């Protein structure tokens, strides 16, 4: 026993010696930030399945929003009477739904889904509801041993996922990352939940005025907007360290130049009226990029078609870009008029639109912009039609409940 006590005291003295403040560690090695580029794109949206199909239909002014039907509510376990009663209670009856089928540009569910009879409580219940399990399945299927990470930031999720992945590459955690967002919330519970957020917002979250005119229901920045259209879809990017991409001869669509984040610290659903959260996120993205605000050619706005949010973001963009915005040299649009609001997937899908705008030299339009909000003046006005123009830098905004904001700045390939 005495031997063990002496040995413990000896080890304790050694431990104290090595942890003494006088023997502190040298500073960690300096990390040289690496350049990150976009080398792959994938999309499933209400406009269609695939990048080319979605982009072509977006530029052509097509709309992926349609009228809801009782069959869209995913109530297979309920009788017809209950399903119809539930459907009748919904005050918003439009949605942006991914087209399903076997034709070109449609999503073939049979390839991906295999129905199984489950017990009342499946042993897979917990793994299925874990947010990080989507990333986990991709990692396991393809053997990716890079950081396996999941962001959960409401409607900014897709943007945060891409920005976080870019940071991981910049800091040397990986040479390649697969990042994006996905959402499938077209069901009775989700739609009803958004319909009753009146107690949290100054107006309903979802549109209710255009049930008979679904393709006109999502109208960002328009005076007659009254809420967003719930949508579903997915957007994925392959991000890669620049030299790694060059060494393998990869096609480079754009470079990730800036990633800004902020919090409103104000309200769970409403942005502050001065737009300070949006301004801070855009400022940080630009500050990292080495690009002057006047060098940004296109902004893909978060604008969801809500009365309050659209006006505040427009004001923030004008404050951020000043004369560059009011002179008409900055192209601005919200693509949610075509896709609806894809919630957790919105940031990723719209970041891809920003990248494609650079790649093709076309700024996409804002659908249903018939009577622009009075906040717009002079040359500061969203595009109502696609515009062919050289786009060297494009910014994509994404804002979420809880006051979380993200801005991604992309530039033409190095």
Catalytic residues: 155, 302, 341
The two three-digit tokens of residue 200, written as one number: 């949290």
The two tokens of residue 229 are 């259209």
**Cα–Cα distance, 11 to 27 (Å, whole number):** 27
DSSP string, 336-394: HHHH-B-GGGHHHHHHHHHHHHHHHTEEPP-TT-SSB-TT-BTTB---SS-EE---SEE
Mutual angle of helices 276-289 and 307-321, in 10-degree steps: 40
Q: How far is CA 99 from CA 14, 48, 50, 207, in A?
A: 68, 6, 12, 21
Give the Cα separation of 160 and 105 in Å (integer).
28
CA 44 – CA 61 distance, rounded (Å):
17
Cα–Cα dist 48/33, whole Å: 37
**323 HSE (CA, 13 A, CB side):** 2
**How far is residue 130 from each of residues 98, 152, 159, 162, 182, measured CA to CA in Å?**
24, 11, 20, 20, 14
- Hunting for tokens 């809500």 — which residue is that? 306
d(CA 345, CA 362) in angstroms, rounded, equals: 22
How many Å from the N-terminal Cα to the C-terminal Cα in the chain?
69
């Amino acid at each position: 026993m005495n031997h063990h006590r002496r040995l413990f005291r000896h080890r304790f003295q050694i431990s104290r010696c090595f942890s003494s403040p006088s023997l502190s560690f040298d500073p960690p090695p300096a990390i040289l930030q690496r350049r990150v580029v976009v080398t792959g794109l994938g999309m499933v949206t209400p406009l269609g399945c695939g990048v080319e199909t979605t982009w072509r239909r977006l530029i052509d002014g097509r709309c992926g929003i349609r009228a809801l039907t009782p069959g869209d509510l995913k109530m297979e376990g309920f009788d017809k009477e209950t399903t119809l009663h539930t459907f009748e209670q919904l005050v918003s009856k439009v949605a942006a739904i991914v087209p399903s089928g076997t034709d070109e540009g449609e999503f073939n569910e049979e390839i991906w889904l295999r129905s199984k009879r489950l017990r009342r409580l499946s042993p897979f219940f917990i793994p299925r509801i874990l947010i990080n399990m989507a990333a986990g399945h991709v990692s396991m299927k393809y053997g990716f041993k890079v950081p396996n990470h999941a962001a959960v930031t409401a409607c900014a999720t897709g943007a945060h996922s891409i920005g976080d992945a870019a940071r991981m590459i910049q800091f040397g955690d990986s040479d390649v990352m697969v990042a994006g967002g996905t959402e499938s919330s077209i069901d009775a519970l989700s739609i009803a939940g958004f319909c009753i957020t009146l107690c949290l917002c100054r107006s309903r979250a979802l549109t209710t005025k255009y049930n008979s005119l679904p393709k006109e229901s999502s109208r960002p920045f328009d005076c007659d907007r009254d809420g967003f259209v719930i949508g579903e879809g997915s957007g994925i990017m392959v991000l890669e360290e620049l030299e790694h991409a060059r060494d393998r001869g990869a096609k480079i669509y754009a470079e990730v130049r800036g990633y800004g984040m902020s919090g409103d610290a104000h309200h769970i659903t409403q942005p502050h009226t001065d737009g300070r959260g949006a301004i801070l996120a855009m400022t940080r993205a630009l500050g990292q990029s080495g690009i002057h605000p006047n060098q940004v050619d296109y902004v893909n706005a978060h604008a969801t078609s809500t009365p309050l949010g659209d006006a505040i973001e427009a004001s923030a963009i004008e404050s951020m870009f000043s004369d560059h915005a009011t002179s008409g040299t900055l192209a601005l649009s919200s693509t949610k008029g075509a896709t609806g609001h894809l919630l957790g997937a919105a940031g990723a899908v719209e970041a891809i639109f920003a990248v494609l705008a650079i790649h093709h030299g076309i700024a996409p339009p804002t659908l249903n912009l018939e009577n622009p909000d009075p906040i717009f003046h002079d040359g500061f006005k969203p595009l109502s039609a696609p515009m062919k123009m050289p786009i060297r830098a494009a910014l994509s905004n994404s804002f979420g409940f809880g006051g979380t904001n993200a801005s991604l700045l992309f530039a033409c390939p190095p």
